Amino acid sequence: MKNVPHRLIGFSTKDLKQRSSDLLIIGSGIAGLTAAIKSHQEYKVTLLTKGKLKETATWYAQGGVATAMSEKDSPELHYQDTMKAGAGLCDPKAVRVLVNEARDSIDDLISLGVDFDRALSGKIELAREGGHSLSRILHTGDSTGSEIQSTLVSKVKSCSDIQIKENTFVLDFLVYKNRCVGAIVLEPEEKNPIVYFAKAVILATGGCGQLYKVTTSPLLATGDGIAMAYRAGAEVCDVEFMQFHPTGLYDKERPRFLITEALRGEGAYLRDCAGNRFMVGVHPLAELAPRDIVVREIVKAMKRCGEDHVYLDTTHIPAEKLEKRFPMIYERCKESGFNLSKDMVPVSPVAHYMMGGVKTDTFGRTSLPGLYASGETACTGIHGANRLASNSLLEGLVFSGRIYKILKDDIGKISKEEISDADLTCSFFGNKKDIDVDKHKELLREIMTTFVGVVRSKEGLKEALIKISDLQDEVFKIQFDEVGGFELQNMLTVAKLMAQAALIREESRGAHFRSDFSETNDSKWKKHIILKRGLQKPKFSKFI
């Protein structure tokens, strides 16, 4: 990407206030908090988060955590369901790691105090969601994410040796002798940026749902981590695969309220404007088909009806069951004028989850030494072209734990003295200029929703790239001094990467659907597109 600056600001580390730690963790969702809790007794840990500790996508997760727990289930069945949902692009080795280490990760959560719903017998109650062959979703009502987030936040706050900085924006990574050695950071109480040196950095900043007009992602999800890693020279993989969740509540709220597919797991139907169940006959699992399949059928139904929503029907499910199992959804729909036990609720697809991201191995290592990634910002190979429901929280748990396991060997490769001797400078010749940042963000969202949404085409993607490049030409020449402007620059970087990868992949697979290449082409495209700063052409790889 020619017009992306190497860094967002000019600086000299010797001229700025400096802080140091063994381990710098960026992000406070399930991935970041798990890494901090695992590591703090052995390393000096600093955790930076863009908003408050609880302002994360983890907080909004309703469904739960997928893990083989029942007598009928097994890691092998979980593996098969994950591989099938991923439409041929999952890394088998990474998926094996996920399903085989899931139970231990869940035990860790329970030991910290997460109180999953249990049946009268005392056994953990399991729900079913799309793409799963049986019930394996651990949950706490319909607010599993907030229960987990609250528990992890309480634990982190109780660890006096973890330095926590909230409302702190990370601008860019520091690279010294081809190793990530920290970051340049904006703190709210500081006039100038701060240098945070570290022997290792864990990136856990979440996704980029705010690139779209309609999303379930929190306002903070602007793709900062992926953009930072790309600028620093790390490989980015599979970013054409943005998952759209089938059932966001159809209203004007932003972010959109998600209606978990666990409702469909309890028997809810999807109906079109004529009241027909349009998923029956399309897939053996009907409403519980993988998300990419359900989303495309919803789009077809909306087009047939000339409407921009379909309906979720729960009226045949007992009211007391709905209120007990889904109290948050029940109340939220009620606020919007819908009674789940009496009314069909309007829903539509919403941008939900980035399956790709910063490429890692099965221990969270990126292609840039010293930099690790976990959670939604990472591409571990778990999700392939379409994430299996409720594998996301599990991924953050498992892979942050695996990062901790190898930190000892890696952190020892560089000393505190070596890092403190680093004199890093970066020139930036941007101009000070006032622009309407929010207006530019909305324009970008319009471009992404129109051309890089559920249905894509060569013509549309080329148009998107032209429009994004024009915005970059304007925005990247500006030296911002506030977070909104830096977010815009990150959003433009990730948007262009996504559009480029989507244009390159001339097939339809999982969440990536091309109207001009509507079939899946295994002979040519059963491989991953890797983008890296400075490469003239993309790299391709296959997981073995």
Pairing mode, if any, of strands 528-531 and 539-541? Answer: antiparallel
What is the phi-psi region of residue 509: left when phi exceeds 0, alpha when psi lies from -120 to 50, beta otherwise?
beta
Pairing mode, if any, of strands 17-26 and 194-203? Answer: parallel
CA 488, distance to chain mean position in Å, is 18
Question: What's the longest Cα–Cα distance across the chain?
Answer: 70
User: Which run of H or E residues covers position 102?
Assistant: helix 92-112
Is the CB of residue 351 less than 8 Å from the CB of residue 216? yes
DSSP 452-491: SSSEE-HHHHHHHHHHHHHHHHHHTTB---SHHHHHHHHH
User: Which run of H or E residues covers position 513?
Assistant: strand 513-514
370, amino acid identity: G
SS3 category, 348: strand
Residue 164 pairs with which residues in a beta bridge?
47
Is the CB of residue 156 less than 8 Å from the CB of residue 53? yes
DSSP 135-197: --EE-STT-HHHHHHHHHHHHHHH-TTEEEE-S-EEEEEEEETTEEEEEEEE-TT-SS-EEEE
Strands, sheet with 137-138, edge to edge from the N-terminal-most edge strand: 65-66, 137-138, 126-127
Indicate if 231 belongs to the active site. Answer: no
The rounded distance, in Å, linking the Cα atoms of 241 and 208 is 12
Please state the three-class secondary structure of 369-407 as a single string.
CCEEECHHHEECCCCCCCCCCCCHHHHHHHHHHHHHHHH
List the helix and strand counts (H, then E) for the chain. 16, 23
Catalytic pick from 291, 325, 387, 445? 291
Of the candidates 349, 335, 343, the one whose C-alpha atom is nearest the C-alpha of residue 268 is 343
Give the DSSP letter of residue 514: E
Quick one: tokens of 237?
A: 């993989």
The rounded distance, in Å, linking the Cα atoms of 82 and 68 is 12
What is the phi-psi region of residue 201: left when phi exceeds 0, alpha when psi lies from -120 to 50, beta otherwise?
beta
The residues carrying an active-site annotation are: 291
